[in-house]
Structure 1
Amino acid sequence: MSPTARFRALPLRSRLALLVTVAVALAVAAVACISWFMVRTQLNDQLNSSLRSTNARAQASQTLNQIRCQDKVPGPFENNLSAQVQIVLPTGGRCWVDGKNSLPVTDYDLEVAKGLRGPILYDGKTTDGTSVRVYTQPVDLTSGPNVQNAAISVAKPLSDITEPLSTLAWVLLFVCGVGILGAGVAGLWVARTGLRPVDELTGAVEHIARTEDLTVRIPDEGDDEIARLSRSFNSMTAALASSQERQAQLIADAGHELRTPLTSLRTNIELLARSEETGRAIPPEDRKELLASVKAQMTELASLIGDLQELSRPDAATPGPLGVVALHEIAGTALSRARLRGPELEFDSDLAPWYVRGEAAALERAVVNVLDNAVKFSPPGSTVTVSLRAGELSVRDRGPGIPADDLPHVFERFWRSPSARALPGSGLGLSIVARTVQRAGGTAALRAPADGGPGTEAVLSIPGAPAPPPGQASVVPDQ
């Protein structure tokens, strides 16, 4: 397994702690290295400045007559025991001036003594092997009337630099170790603290998966990413809980609505079966009514099941192909069906051309549901007014109307007003209407007529245009 794969296999907390530790360790190591090199540069500069500032040239000129080359006698630098001083002659000879040990004569020293180059700094060693920093500069030696070129070398031990640097290196190494250890502890603390909300979220998800309890909520204080994640999770569980409640309510309402026609069917079928078993014939008129009742109950059950199937689809699902739909043609088709269901009613229609984008079959069913309600609640001989103007389809009946307190509930599933419970229906028609119109980008509403007369006015407002877009034909639902 590659190092990258091993790293990814670690828990998130371990990876976060390791990343923090490595980041801090690299930062501490970088600071320590930079500090060490800066101190070394500063010490080197100080040593070079100290060598350059030594007034060895004047002292050597004054004391040349007091010393002899190769003779080791006390000189003017006898109190500067940390420096080695000697004079280098152009011939390669040397005159010891001061210090514990003499310096080997190098090519650099001869070039300076011969006047071939200026002052020079270099690293060297004394005769006993001590590492030193050497500064050689030209000097004029006078002996009577004669003037001789020479060079004077001043050396100081490099231990003045290496020993403080060694001490500093150990100190920085200790500081790095403490820093890395502290970074590891801090990384674990940061990982544990930063991932605590994630642990709570994980625990909540595991609890929901185990118990299906959608009432669990996670604290979401603050405005950081974790708080946003917690709020999103809480919103998701709240939506799931609401969906679960709606589903349970739908099942309960559907069971309640199915119970009535099923009970009626069972009663009628038991009567027919008992008649066959006992041999007692049911009068023809009664038998005809029983069969008509069974047929009506079966029709009601089929309609109810169709409505339930329509409402069981998710709101975001597209029930069918979308296209440009001629709403006035759909309204005309639905109006023809309404005339067959209400032959005792008068229908006054005014349908102006209007094209919308939606699903033709669903829109036709919505319009049929609205007209069915108008037929159901209109007294015989009354007029149902249907108009379509600028995308607003209005259907008005002359029935008893809907109380103002009931208007907010008319589009709820299975809701039926007290006056409508004696009439056939499931209470799902207007729910389907509202859902279909919303999918087409419009709105549905019920209101009292503007003229103050009897009845109720249903208004479906769907955006569209009085003519179809160029090159697009309208979709007509199957008849």
Structure 2
Amino acid sequence: MRPRSLRARLTLLVTAAVSLAVALCAVMSWFIIQMLVVAQVDQSILESQGDAKYLIDTCRPTGTRGPFFEGMATVLYPDGSTCSLGPPIVPVQDDLRALDHLPEPLYRNGVTRDGKQVRVVTVNLQPGMAVLEARPLWHVQRTMRYAAFGLGGISVLGALGAAMAGLAVSRTALRPVGELTRAVEHIAQTEDLDTRIPVRGTDEIARLSSSFNAMTAALAGSRERQKQLVADAGHELRTPLTTLRTNIDLLLRSEQTGRSLDPEAKQRLLVNVKAQFAELSTLVADLLQLARGDHDHEPHVEVAFHEVVTAAVERARLRGAQVVTDLQPWYVVGNAASLERAVINLIDNAAKFSPDSGVEVSLQHGRLTVRDHGPGLPEEELPHVFERFWRSPSARGLPGSGLGLAIVAQAVAEAGGRVSLANAPGGGAVATLDLPGTLIRHSESDKSP
């Protein structure tokens, strides 16, 4: 069996719910009408009890004229005997209880000797005497049949109206879902991530449309960044690969022709090949670092950031950098390896521009500053320093891939911090890195009383 569509299921659900409500209301109305009609019959019987004295005075086996229907009124005596207007046609059941001074009448449904439905009311008139009176219910039954036919017709009309209302509601409610479905199908077929859905109102469907638009915008941005990364990586890889191919071709041609190169020239070529391989390896490592997803890292834990900075400074000193430090304890939540890579990139970048004056590294209250004493940067270049593959024109001749500061920005963002680069007073540049954290380790503070 083919599964029904969401619109069909919603229409059926609305139809069933409204039809059930209408049916329940009809049934309750039928019972209420019956109760009111029977109450009217009871009231009419009680109003006729004013002629009960006439019944008692004239009661005889042959019957008499009066306000009572023939044989439908009976007098009950203490000894259990009865006296009716004509032959009693309603059998006496537990109506003798009315002889015990009951303050309220006794009501019941009865059946005549010929099988007709009647309403029976027994009233205590005086000590030891009661009157039983019955009225036929055929008019009540007729009224209830008419009520049943009328309420049944209303229920049918209500079900039809519910079906039409359910169809209208499903069409209106699911129109945004249909637009979303068509948009998703269009994207699946064309891979056009610029598709947007109109957002109307502030309900759940509008929130879903807004979330879908935000998702497609994020995917479009991610794909654009991926294309840009591939293009930039191809551009950056072209230079070292071309240099490597040229040098290796020169060495191969020398071996093939038998014309050996001068030892010093050959040594320079080999050193250049080694440097190009090192630059290529650094570039590939940086690309892998940037290409990993936001969640493609080890879980964040509490890290002693001052120890991370100390380790990065030691690595920079091993590379020949002159670094002066002033570090205060600071504990953050993040990934130690990523933060150490970010700090060493900042130190290497600063050491590159101030090889003689050294680098000043300070960590105070969660703010890490790395200052060099180089030439600084033009103001118009400062907004671009953390972009991938961007390099200042003055640094084109220096080693590097243009990815170091981009890696810093990514690592700091993952840890919930901020990083900036500005010209320092008195010359040079200063990189500022702010990370949320505390002066004491949380695990130690939790143990304190």
Q: What TM-score results when the alignment is normalised by the length of structure 1?
A: 0.79
User: Partner residue of 2:431?
Assistant: 458
Residues 208-357 of structure 1 aligned to structure 2 (within 5 Å) = 208-319=187-298, 322=301, 323-325=303-305, 326-338=307-319, 340=320, 347=322, 349-357=324-332
Structure 2 residue runs without a partner (length 5+) = none
- Residue 48 of structure 1, aligned match among 27, 39, 42: 42
The correspondence for 2:381, drawn from 406, 428, 448, is 406
SS of 1:282's partner is: coil
Residue 443, structure 1, aligned to residue 423, structure 2: no
The secondary structure found in structure 2 opposite 1:430 is helix
**Cα offsets for 1:74-106 (capped at 9, x unmatched):** x344xx8x776556586555444xxxxx64263
Aligned pairs, number: 434
**SS at 1:394 equivalent:** strand
Once the two structures are TM-superposed, the CA of residue 57 in structure 1 deviates from its matched residue by 2.5
Distance of 1:464 and 1:85 partners within structure 2 = 97
The 8 Å contact of residues 348 and 386 in structure 1, kept in 2 or not, is answered as: yes
Greater CA drift, 166-175 or 11-20: 11-20
Partner of 1:104 in structure 2? 89
In structure 1, C-alpha distance between the alignment counterparts of 2:175 and 2:70, rounded to whole Å: 65
Letter in 2 for 1:454: G
Q: Name the CA distance, whole Å, in 2 between partners of 1:109 and 1:225.
A: 65
- Determine the C-alpha separation between the residues in 1 that align with 2:45 and 2:123: 11
Alignment of 1:13-412 (within 5 A): 13-54=7-48, 55-60=50-55, 64=58, 69-70=61-62, 75-77=65-67, 92=82, 94-96=84-86, 103-104=88-89, 106-107=91-92, 111=96, 121-125=107-111, 129-135=115-121, 154-319=133-298, 322=301, 323-325=303-305, 326-338=307-319, 340=320, 347=322, 349-357=324-332, 358-378=334-354, 382-390=356-364, 391-412=366-387
Alpha-carbon displacement from aligned partner over 1:431-453 (angstroms, at most 9, x marks no partner): 11222233344332211112xx2
Counterpart of 2:409 in structure 1 is: 434
Which residue does the alignment assign to 1:477? none
The 3 A distance-change label for structure 1 pair 48 and 416 is: same
Q: 1:400 to 1:83 in 2, by over 3 A?
A: farther
- Aligned-partner Cα distance in 1 for 2:335–2:94: 103
Does residue 12 (structure 1) correspond to residue 6 (structure 2)? The answer is: yes
Instruction: Check conservation: 2:125, 2:131, Cα contact below 8 A.
Output: yes
**How far off its partner does 1:60 sit?**
4.1
Structure 1 residue 312 displacement after superposition: 1.0
Deviation per residue, 1:387-438 (Å, 9 max, x gap): 3241443333232211111111101111111211232211001111222233
**Do 1:84 and 1:156's aligned partners in 2 also have CA atoms closer than 8 Å?**
no
Q: Secondary structure at the match of 1:383?
A: coil
Relative to structure 1, is the Cα distance of residues 53 and 306 closer, same or farther in structure 2, using a 3 angstrom cutoff? same
Counterpart contact for 2:90–2:112, Cα < 8 Å: no
SS at match of 2:389: coil
Indicate the percent of aligned positions where both proteins have the same amino acid: 46
Following superposition, the deviation at residue 250 of structure 1 comes to: 0.3
The separation in 2 between residues aligned to 1:327 and 1:354, in whole angstroms, is: 11
User: Structure 1: any 5+ residue segments left out of the alignment?
Assistant: 1-5, 97-101, 141-148, 473-479
Larger radius of gyration: 1
Distance 2:290 2:37 in 1: 86
Distance 1:365 1:24 in 2: 65
24-33 vs 196-205, greater mean Cα deviation: 196-205
**1:416 corresponding residue in structure 2:** 391
CA RMSD, 1 decimal: 3.4
**Displacement after TM superposition at 1:464 (Å):** 5.1
Distance 1:34 1:439 in 2: 64
Give the CA deviation at 1:51.
1.4
Q: Give the 5 Å matches for 1:462-477.
A: 462-463=435-436
Which secondary structure state, in structure 1, belongs to the residue aligned with residue 286 of structure 2?
helix
More divergent stretch after superposition (199-208 vs 232-241): 199-208
Structure 2 length-normalised TM: 0.84
Query: Could you tell me whether the CA contact under 8 Å between 2:342 and 2:408 is conserved in 1?
Result: yes
How much does 1:261 deviate? 1.1
Closer, same or farther: CA 276–40 of 1 in aligned 2, 3 Å:
same
Q: How far off is 1:108 after superposition? A: 5.5
TM-superposed CA distance for 1:159, in Å, is 1.2
